[in-house]
Amino acid sequence: MKTNTKTMRTIMFLSLAIAMVLIPANTATANEFMQNRKEYETALNHATILTARLKQDTENIQNKTIVTRDDDNATRIAREALQSQLTEATKIHMSQKEKATVFTVSSLTDKTVESNNRIHSLIRSIDRTAKSVDTAIASHKLDDMRKKLADMVDKGKRILESSNGNVDDENNRDKLSDLLEKAKDLMESTDVKTMSVDVSELDKLINKVSDDMNARQSRIGQERQQSVVAASYSQASDTTNGNYATTRSNYGSYTPIQSTPRGYYSSMSCNLTSAADHCQGAVDGGGIVDLNYGNGHVYAQHNNTGGAWINNLQAGQTFIMNGSTYRVNGQSVQGAHYAPGSGDWMQTCNGNGNHLVGITKIS
């Protein structure tokens, strides 16, 4: 068979042309695949980093979802929103590496990048919501502290007014007045810590001024009691100066009758129970102490602190105690060891121990 030279040349030319076209194309496809696979691996590495960060962020802010008793509505809403996002985060799974081929590498990369974008968006949302929880808590604390400061300022103003002229020492009142002026400038402040300190200091000064008022009242009461005691000594030792007149009763005995009742006042009171040993301390402090034991009162005073006049009370004698008039009813208990069962009594000490004198309220 005779070879057609022209035909052979045509075939060789076409083969060479095809080879020249195919070689660059194959080379380009291989390079593109390598690039796509590199992008896929980069996306997978990014997925690992994002998933780890999401897990760490979720653990770090989990406590911000816990509702507390002091939360207001804004704080509760922010906590609920954060909890919803954290729940969504638990459903996120890191993209797993799959075998990439020239046919699948692009789609795998796109899927991984899409997953990464979702994780990244969720991380940003969780961060914003966590900050909104902090903001709500801070706002609530600020509002609460401003209210506490306002209430304390009002309380301070009231006691400053009521204590005017009712304390012996103006030092604490002056300090309270200065702090109240300072507190006015803090009412619109956002410095919760400073406001908290001022609230605490105001409370302390208010209590000190209140104590100063009580101290003055106690002093006045003691001075009044001392004056009454001095008068009672004079009254008890002088039965010829017109304070008492003796008259014969229907039963033939002599009963002293006081023509002008004298006034006495208890300086403090105490509930007399089986466990009330502190009442003894009150009596030891001096002055007349009103011991309330449920069925009546025992007005007690040591004989060596002005109560000796009680030993001189006699049946029929009248006197005023705390603004009420009492008459000595003739009952007398020497050496008493227990509180009486009922009724009102005066009590002091003498050579026989405790001395109880029965009294009856008549007006």
Residue linked to tokens 């194309």: 25
Question: Binning pLDDT at 50, 70 and 90, where does residue 250 land?
Answer: very low
pLDDT at residue 231, as a whole number: 53
First to last CA, the chain: 160
Strands in the chain per DSSP E: 244-248, 254-258, 263-264, 268-271, 289-292, 297-300, 318-321, 324-334, 344-350, 353-361
Q: Return the domain boundaries, the chain.
A: 5-140, 163-219, 256-361
Mean pLDDT for the stretch of residues 251-264: 49
Q: What are the pLDDT digits (tens) for 263-283?
A: 788 877 777 654 445 577 667
> 268-271 and 289-292: which strand pairing?
parallel
Q: Tell me what percent of the residues of the chain surpass a pLDDT of 70.
A: 77
The pair of three-digit structure tokens given for residue 10, joined into one six-digit string:
């045509």
Q: Using CA of residue 229, residue 230, residue 235, residue 236, what is the dihedral sign?
A: positive
pLDDT at residue 5, as a whole number: 57
What's the rounded Cα separation, in Å, for the pair 23 and 40? 26
Question: Binning pLDDT at 50, 70 and 90, where does residue 94 land?
Answer: low
Question: Binning pLDDT at 50, 70 and 90, where does residue 108 land?
Answer: confident
pLDDT at residue 228, as a whole number: 55
Q: Using CA of residue 17, residue 19, residue 20, residue 21, what is the dihedral sign?
A: positive
pLDDT at residue 249, as a whole number: 33
pTM of the entire structure? 0.47
SS (HEC) of 70-87: CCCHHHHHHHHHHHHHHH
Question: Binning pLDDT at 50, 70 and 90, where does residue 233 land?
Answer: very low
Residue 154 exposed, middle or buried by CB count within 10 Å (0-12, 13-18, 19+): exposed
What's the rounded Cα separation, in Å, for the pair 305 and 146? 51
Mean pLDDT for the stretch of residues 50-77: 90
Whether the pLDDT of residue 361 is over 50: the answer is yes
The pair of three-digit structure tokens given for residue 239, joined into one six-digit string:
């039965």
**Between 186 and 261, residue with greater pLDDT:** 186
Half-sphere exposure of 247 (CA within 13 A, CB side): 9
The pair of three-digit structure tokens given for residue 245, joined into one six-digit string:
């007149």
Q: Which of 152-156, 176-180, 342-346 has the lowest mean pLDDT?
A: 342-346
pLDDT at residue 262, as a whole number: 62
Q: What are the pLDDT digits (tens) for 287-336?
A: 788 888 777 888 988 888 788 888 888 888 898 888 889 999 988 888 77
Q: For the chain, what is the radius of gyration of the CA atoms?
A: 48
Mean pLDDT for the stretch of residues 209-229: 78
**Torsion angle in degrees (nearest 10) through CA of 101, 107, 110, 114:** -120
Q: What are the pLDDT digits (tens) for 128-153?
A: 999 999 999 999 999 999 999 999 99
Q: Which amino acid is at 163?
A: S
